[in-house]
Every structure is written in C-alpha cells, then in structure tokens.
Amino acid sequence: MPLTWLILFLFALAALGFIAGRVRAVNSAGGDVRELHSLPNYYGWNVALTALVPALAVLVVWLFVQPLMIERSVSGMIPEELIPEGSQRSLVMSDVRRVAHGLDMAVRQGALSEDDASDIRAGFTDLRGRLADVGVALGSDVRPEVLSAAQRYRQLNATGTLWQSIIVAALALGGLTLAYTRTHKGFRARNVVERAILALLILAASIAVLTTLGIVLSMLFETRNFFGLHSWSDFFFGTTWAPNFRGDSELSILPLLWGTLYISFIALAVAVPVGLFAAIYLSEYASAALRSFAKPLLEILAGIPTIVYGMFALLTVGPMLVNFFGRGPDGVLGVDWMSGATSVLTAGVVMGIMLIPFVSSLSDDIINSVPQSLRDGSYGLGATQSETVRQVVLPAALPGIVGAVLLAASRAIGETMIVVMGAGAIAKFSLNPLESMTTITTRIVSQLTGDTDFASPETLVAFALGLTLFVLTLGLNILALYIVRKYREQYE
Amino acid sequence: MKDMSQIANAVETGTNKISARDVNVFYGDSQAIKGVDVEISNNTVTAFIGPSGCGKSTFLRCLNRMNDTIDICRVTGTIRLDGEDIYDKRVDPVQLRAKVGMVFQKPNPFPKSIYDNVAYGPRIHGLARSKSDLDEVVERALRRGAIWNEVKDRLYAPGTGLSGGQQQRLCIARAVATEPEVLLMDEPCSALDPIATAQVEELIDELRENFAVVIVTHSMQQAARVSQNTAFFHLGELVEYGETGQIFTNPQDPRTESYITGRIG
C-alpha cells in the first residue's frame, strides 16, 4: 500500500506544482500574459514535471534494485550445507521469500504481533502450522537458518521501503521548490517542456529498440546453452530430425528448413501472381468507385486471424485436395497420391491466400507512387494502357514490388498457425507437395509445449531454431527495405 | 533579340493541318473551354498564351485526346486532323496519339536507358524491321532532338541520369521517333534553366520543317521568339488568334493588349 500512497502523493504534488507555477509566472508578469516568455501553462508544466519526473525515475530504479540488493545480502546468510543435493540456492531463497511473505500475512491478519514476527524461533513454535492458518502453505518445516534469513529479509525490506519513500518524496519536493523559485517571466519554460517531450519520444523509441535487443540476447544465450549440450555440426549439417528423451536425439535443422522453404515457395507462387495482378487491376484499370469498394474488401483478408486460416486449411482445403489427388478410384482424378489432409500443398495454398492482400496492398501503393507523368508520357507516344503498364509502370515499380515480395516471403517463413494445422509433423526431405512435412515454426511449438525440461537439448533446440528463423527473416527484411528505399529515392 | 526571331520566323508556313470548331470542354459541371475555333497550319509553330488556368493546356490536350484519360472530362465540338474528326467513334485514340505526339511540362524520361526511351515508340508501333533499322531510327530521332552528340557515347546509360535540359530534349527526341505529324508541347521549357531553354527553343524552330508544332507557354518572349502564329486564351475563351508579330505589336482585342503589356495575368 505505501507505494500507492507514495505515487498518489507525487501526482498530488505535481498538480499542486502546476497550479503554483502557473500562478507565480502570471504574477511575475504583473498579470499581463504577453509579458511572459512562454504561455502560462508551460510554467505550470515545468514545475509539475520537475517535481514528478526525477522522483518517479528514482522510484522505478529503486523498485528494480532493492529486491536484488536484499536478495544478495540475505542469500549470504544461508549456509552451503543447507542446500540439498541436486538443488540450487535459488530454491532455498524462494523458501525464504515465502516464509517472509507468510509472516507479513500473519501480521496483517493479526495472527502474530509485529514483535512476535521478528522474535519468533522456529524450534519453539509451530511456525508451519501457524502460517498454514493464514493461508501460506510450506513444503516442510521451517529451519532456523531459513527463518532468520526470512526475518532479516522482512527487516531489510521494511527499511528499504521507508528510505525509498523518504528519498522519493524529498526529491519531488526539492524539484518542485527548484522549479518554483526559477519560475519568472523571463524563464524559458516552453523550451524546457519541449525538451521533456523530446525525452519522452526518445524513451518510447528506445523501449522498442531495447526490447528487440533483449529478445535477441536471450535467444543468443539459450542458443549457446544448446550448443553446449548438442553438437553444432549435427544441428546445421545433419539430415535427421528425431528428438527423443533417451539422450541421443538427432536435431538437425535442415529437414525443417527444407519444409519451411518449400511451403513458403508454394505460398509465394500463389500469392505473388494473384496479388500482383489484383494490384495492377485495382490501381490501373478499376474505376474509383469499384476501387474504393474492392480495396478494403481485399484487405479484410489481411485481418483474418491465422488460426482461422489454419482451420480453413485443415477442414476445407485439405479434404478438397485429398478428393482430387487421393482416394484412389473414388477420387476426382482416380489416383492415390495423397493420404491425409495435411500436406505441403494444403499449407502452401492457404498461406498463399493469406499473403494475397499483403502483396496486393504493398504493390498497389508502389504502383500508385509511379508518377502520373510517366504514364502520360507513354500515352502521349500512342501506347495502349496495357503496353504502358507492362513497359513503363511495372519496370518502374519493379524494385518496390520485389521488396514487397521479400516482405511477404519473410512472413511466410515465420508463419506458424497455418503450418501447425495444415502441414503435418513429419520432418523429411521430399519433393512431393502432397506429402506432409514440417517447418521450423511448428517444431518450436511442439518442443516448447507440454512438459519441458529447460536443461535438455530437446527443449533448448527451440531457441536455436528460433534464432535461425530470426536471422533468416531479419536478412530478408533488411534486403527488402533496402530495395524499397533505393526505389523510393528515384522519384524525390 | 526581337529582330533575330523575326528573321527566323520568316519561313513559309504551310497548309492547314488541324481545324477546331466550337470546342467546349467540361470538367464535371465546370466549363474549362468555351467555344474555341482554331486553325493550325503545317510547318508552323503555333503558340498558345494566356494567364494560368485559362484553358490553354486543356485545349492542347484535346488535340490528341489526352483528356480521355481523365474520367470527368467531356469534350464537345469538332476537331479535324487533315479533315478527319478525331473524336469520331472510328478513331482509335491510341493511333491518334502516335500521329499527334506530345512533350510535357516536366521532363519525364522512362526509367530505362536513353536508347530504350527513344526506341519505345518505334517498338510499340513496329516502325523498325530490324535491330540495325531501329538503331538508325533512334540515331535520327536523337539527332533531330539535338542531343545526339551529348549522348552517343552512353546510349545505354539511364535516361533519368541526364540533366534537366538534356532530359527534355530526350523527351522531344522520343516524341519525334514515332514520326508524328503534329507535335504538341505543354510548357516544355518551364522546368529548364535559360541555357537549356535556348537550346530547346532552337530545336523547336528546326522541328517545324517536318511537323506542325503547337506550344503552350507562359513566357510571352518565348512565344514571340519561336512562333509564327499566336492564340491568346482568357478564362476558357479564345480571345484573339493571328500572326505572332501582329498579336504582339498590334493586338485587336483590349484584353490581349492588357495581357501583353502586363496588366492582367
């Protein structure tokens, strides 16, 4: 609770500072707002922000650092021999935290007095029973070392929280006073506030960048762990994907990569012609009325969740393909090439349908950005519309279209749900599109769902797969953006 | 300069090429051109002058039916090219545009090589029988465009890499390459510097040996320098049309005089 109060206090102080700063600024100009360097509200904001921002920043840092410091100091109190064989210090520490938490609860519910909580001895009282009464279940009896560590933990926490409130409140008050005294008609409050806005924008941008960095780093570390347990040459150059839990798994990415690329290739073979032709029709031939109606309709496809596409693959497209290519004499073609609904072709076709709006929407933008003057030039030479599209508009738009296709490819490679449901689970090298095959993404799903042990290569391989996938799509995206950007520069 | 242009202009002008009768153009509900009658002669440079928004570009674009590409545009009246109504149903606007070439305000080379830019029209219309034939057509067009000497060593470099003036002469060469009978130019020098403008103007004067040239311009000096006939447009009407020297020295309509002396515009 004190944290909530502290934050409320900070905001109340900021609101007060806003009003006070505004009033002081207006007064310093003798009531004439035109005398001020900035509008009165800027002075208010300046005071409010100077009070609030440093205090909040310190509070956030404190909230992160305090548990770490306390953890470190308390965990030193646990003797080495207390840690059971095969267990880890962090497990004992979680016991400590639970006991401390239980004591807190007990005090709050009146089962223990504050003095009792700090003086209690594990040997004399049935601590486990009393904590169970207040709703904290412990796995075993509390050992004296753990109890004293827990008490120390509580004590440090209390002190820390007290100091935290004092320091943060003092900072807020100090900031308020400083900004308030500086408020004068000549003070450039507007510039200060705009710097604060700039800082906010930078913060937002860096959160995005740092998150990416964090994800990549965590994948990198786990991947390194994986390569500590499994040979990298098998991962990159082996030919079999056969995870088992006997310890001799063959975990090679190549069959998965083959499945991924094969399915993506089929998806692009469907999406690129259809999407591109749709874009050409919509941007060059369709009337404005049709266009305003058809384009949003096409883009609805992009809003369908991929799980729905997955159902579509499994329940509609798959059986339809089986009806064509399977079932022997009962089938449409009378052949028996396809046994189950899940296949490379099923997943590829459905993924292609998913990518159509992606390709068409990007290509449409790119075709529209080809200057009208080029079309006029071509018409002026007596070219027909289709000659103009084929020989002037498309060549001019080609780099951008290639970029769009590469972006679509990177989506196809990373797509999960459709392949989980439509592609099957067999990892193999095969050219037959009617067989089921599996992809990197589906294997990540299956390695990480269910009971997993994060110390085994069978689980950790997911990180190596994820990182490879990431590098692959990142490379494609960079290439695509490079091409698109290069093209954009031509017409500026 | 006036004297020089007078000398340059003293060339025989030819027979009647295009005749427009009672042409009206509507954009949706607003009328952009009101009852214009014009005769355009062969081997002549005809200049359309007038203040911005007076309809001179719109009228120019009627002459090769470029306005067809604008949905809301509607044209009435008759425009005859060699006695044939170009708005007749039997006329294919695409064929018409091959006969009535156009050069635009901003140089608009295609993102192709210089050679392919010029070869574009001849290829579409099948004007060359072989590669060497096409080479000849391209060279002749580039020579007529007065740009051959500057680009003959880099025919396969992109056309967009040329300077603004060179690009515009390339566009003229491209238009000339399809062997049109009439060449329409919509403010061809407005995006060019004075030196490039001078080169293009010189070129225009040479072009009239083979074509009827119609040029829209904002610059009255340019009209005086390059044209033999001048038409003055104002608010969608053709106010005055006549021999260039006469329009500039002895205008009949008070509005023409006001524009030429800078009182309206």
B168 found inside a domain: yes
Domain match, A111 and A48 both: yes
A145 found inside a domain: yes
pLDDT in tens, A7-64: 999 999 999 999 999 999 998 888 888 888 888 899 999 999 999 999 999 999 999 9
| pLDDT value of residue B10 | 47
DSSP codes joined into one string, A158-205: HHHHHHHHHHHHHHHHHHHHHHHHH--TTS-HHHHHHHHHHHHHHHHH
In DSSP terms, B40 is beta-bridged to B18
Nearest CB neighbour to B178, from listed A288, A375, A381: A381
CA distance A290 to B209: 47
B7 found inside a domain: yes
A388 found inside a domain: yes
Per DSSP, the three-state class of A15 is helix
How many other CB atoms sit within 10 Å of the CB of residue A378? 25
pLDDT in tens, A70-83: 888 887 777 777 77
Does B120 contact A379 at a Cβ distance shorter than 8 Å? no
Which of the listed residues A169, A187, A205 is the one where a domain comes to its end? Answer: A187
Average pLDDT of A424-429? 82
CA distance B93 to B79: 13
Nearest CB neighbour to B124, from listed A387, A396, A490: A387
Q: Which residues of A touch B159 (CB under 8 A)?
A: none
Does B97 contact A382 at a Cβ distance shorter than 8 Å? yes
User: Which alpha helices (DSSP H) does A230-253 contain, by range?
Assistant: 232-237
Q: Chain A contact for B66, CB < 8 A?
A: yes
Domain match, A263 and A356 both: yes
Backbone angle region of A85, left / alpha / beta, with phi > 0 → left and psi within -120 to 50 → alpha: beta
The CATH number for B203's domain is 3.40.50.300
A348 found inside a domain: yes
Does A382 contact B178 at a Cβ distance shorter than 8 Å? yes
| Backbone phi and psi for residue A459, each to the nearest 5 degrees, phi listed first | -90, -45
Nearest chain A Cα to B178, which residue?
Answer: A381
- In B141-180, the residues whose Cβ lies within 8 Å of chain A are 160, 171, 174-175, 178
| Backbone phi and psi for residue B54, each to the nearest 5 degrees, phi listed first | -85, -5
Which of the listed residues A166, A187, A208 is the one where a domain comes to its end? Answer: A187
- Please give chain B's pLDDT, 265 residues, in tens: 444 444 444 445 567 888 888 999 998 888 888 888 988 988 899 999 988 888 888 899 899 888 887 878 888 889 998 888 888 888 888 888 888 989 998 889 998 899 999 999 999 888 888 999 999 999 999 988 888 988 989 999 988 888 888 898 899 999 989 888 899 999 888 878 888 888 888 888 888 888 899 999 988 888 888 999 999 998 888 899 999 989 888 888 888 888 888 766 5
Domain match, A23 and A81 both: yes
How many other CB atoms sit within 10 Å of the CB of residue A134? 17
Neighbour-count burial for A241-268, b at 16+ CB within 10 Å, e otherwise: bebeeeeebbbbbbbbbbbbbbbbebbb
* A to B CB pairs, distance under 8 Å: 74
| pLDDT value of residue B1 | 40
CA distance B199 to B166: 9
User: Which alpha helices (DSSP H) does A230-343 contain, by range?
Assistant: 232-237, 254-280, 288-303, 306-312, 318-325
CA distance A23 to A436: 74
B265 found inside a domain: no
| pLDDT value of residue B106 | 87
Does B160 contact A383 at a Cβ distance shorter than 8 Å? no
Domain match, A354 and A430 both: yes
Q: Which residues of A touch B121 (CB under 8 A)?
A: 381-383
Structural domain total, chain B: 1
Task: Name the token pair of B224.
Answer: 């005086």
Shortest distance between the Cα of A393 and any Cα of chain B, in A, equals 9
The CATH number for A255's domain is 1.10.3720.10
- Residue A381 amino acid letter: L
Name the residue range of residue A364's domain: 236-489
CA distance B227 to B45: 5
Domain match, A80 and A176 both: yes
Q: Chain A contact for B124, CB < 8 A?
A: yes
Name the residue range of residue B248's domain: 2-260
Per DSSP, the three-state class of B25 is strand
Does B94 contact A383 at a Cβ distance shorter than 8 Å? yes
How many other CB atoms sit within 10 Å of the CB of residue B112? 19
Task: Name the token pair of B68.
Answer: 């067809």
Output the CA torsion sign for A419, A420, A422, A425: positive
How many other CB atoms sit within 10 Å of the CB of residue A2? 11
